[in-house]
Structures are given as structure tokens and as C-alpha cells.
């Protein structure tokens, strides 16, 4: 089974590059961000979720029943 990574705030420069490296390394990657990236910046094989991390109800809705081995918080 593949390791699972959640990158919070993963659509910026650092998060996008981390997500790309993770996918290339065979890690199942999910990005949670306030805004979804434009189509040209989406990386194939990554699941994108949209939520405001300051709103608990949005987070609960997006992350319900999801499990991760690692979480990287890059939210600004």
C-alpha cells in the first residue's frame, strides 16, 4: 500500500514542487488549499481539495474519512 501525504496550502511554489516530487516518488498525494490551481498548474495524479483552514466545518467536510501518513502544513 502506498504512503499517503496531505499538503495543506499546496498550490503555492513550494507546495506545488513538493507535490510533484511526492508523486514522482510514488507517494499518494492530496493537496488542500483555499483555491484550486488553474488547469495548467494541476499535477496529474494529485487529488485537490478546496477548503478554508480557518473554518472547521469546511475542513471536516473535505477530510471526512480520509487518512494520511504525513501532513505538511504550508498554509500561509
pTM, two decimal places = 0.90
Report d(CA 26, CA 3) in Å as an integer: 8
* 46-75: average pLDDT: 93
Domains and CATH numbers, the chain: 4-73 (3.40.50.720)
Residue-wise pLDDT tens digits, 16-57: 999 999 999 999 999 999 988 888 889 999 999 999 999 999
Cell numbers 501532513 correspond to 71
- State the DSSP code for 36: P
Amino acid at each position: 500500500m502506498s504512503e499517503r501525504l496531505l499538503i495543506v496550502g499546496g498550490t503555492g511554489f513550494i507546495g506545488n514542487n513538493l507535490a510533484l516530487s511526492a508523486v514522482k516518488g510514488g507517494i499518494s498525494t492530496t493537496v488542500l488549499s483555499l483555491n484550486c490551481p488553474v488547469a495548467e498548474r494541476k499535477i496529474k495524479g494529485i487529488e485537490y481539495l478546496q477548503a478554508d483552514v480557518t473554518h472547521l466545518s469546511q475542513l471536516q467536510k473535505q477530510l471526512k474519512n480520509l487518512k494520511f501518513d504525513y501532513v505538511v502544513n504550508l498554509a500561509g
